[in-house]
Amino acid sequence: MTVTATAAQRSPARARTLAAASIAAGVLLVALASQVAVPLPLTPVPMTLQPLAVLLVGGLLGQRRGAAAMVAYLLLGAAGAPVFTPFGAPGLLRLLGPTGGYLLAFPFAAALVGWVTARRPGWTGLVAGPLLGMLAIHAGGMAQLLVLTGSVRAALAAGAIPFAVGDTLKVVVAAVALGRGIPWTRTLR
């Protein structure tokens, strides 16, 4: 009886440790991807690998853990940890600036990718999940830029049009990577 009780006690502890480690890995992946940033002319929004990392985190960790990783990422960044791109205001001020809407959409986008890929097996989900996640990120970014600029045209020119090709490529890369990675991370979901 003692051996069974000990094994049962270890199982929930192991599950919590695995959940915490997977969330921390998701935060680390997005933080590292944010450091790959290229400022673009005529826009305050740099091109980064963050959106790709968010799509991967959501698809690999699933709806809940993917969203939890992105909430943890935002809390760390808002507290001043150097997890956001190297361009822009530090800490909480970053969430109020031109890139804030994109950042605030990360938890929703990760959850959406995780939800879609779990419910739509095969390539349908592997493409639809990242595509919808990317659209969610852009919806958040456009909303913030619209508030800051007061113009739909200016928001699109600064936050969507310069990123259309690159972000489409990120969706394709995410779909392929998730197709290979999801079977390995099913236990993390």
What pLDDT shows up at residue 35?
A: 96
Cβ neighbours of 70 (radius 10 Å): 28
The whole-angstrom separation of Cα 62 and Cα 100 is: 24
Domain ranges within the chain, ordered by starting residue: 2-188
Cβ neighbours of 76 (radius 10 Å): 16
Q: Which helix (H) or strand (E) holds 57?
A: helix 50-61
**Position 119 confidence tier, pLDDT thresholds 50, 70, 90:** very high
Give the percent of the chain with pLDDT over 70.
93
Taking the mean position of all CA atoms in its chain, how far away is CA 13?
27
What pLDDT shows up at residue 88?
A: 85
**Position 104 confidence tier, pLDDT thresholds 50, 70, 90:** very high
For 45-93, where are the E strands, in sequence order?
A: 47-48
Region 11-32: what's the mean pLDDT? Answer: 93
- Collapsing DSSP states into helix, strand and coil, what is residue 37? strand
Cβ 177 vs Cβ 55: under 8 Å? no
CATH class label, 2-188: mainly alpha
Q: Which residues contact 166 (CB under 8 A, 6 or more apart)?
A: 47
- Collapsing DSSP states into helix, strand and coil, what is residue 47? strand
Angle at 175 between CA 82 and CA 27, to 5 degrees: 20
39 pLDDT more than 70: yes
Residue, of 3 and 89, whose pLDDT is higher: 89
- Collapsing DSSP states into helix, strand and coil, what is residue 38? strand
Model pLDDT for residues 55-103, shown as the tens digit of each residue: 999 999 999 999 999 999 999 999 999 999 998 889 999 999 999 999 9
- Tokens coding 137: 């990120």
- Cα–Cα nearest to 43, from 82, 90, 88: 88
7 pLDDT more than 70: no
Taking the mean position of all CA atoms in its chain, how far away is CA 119?
19
Report DSSP state, residue 49. Answer: S
Region 13-42: what's the mean pLDDT? Answer: 94
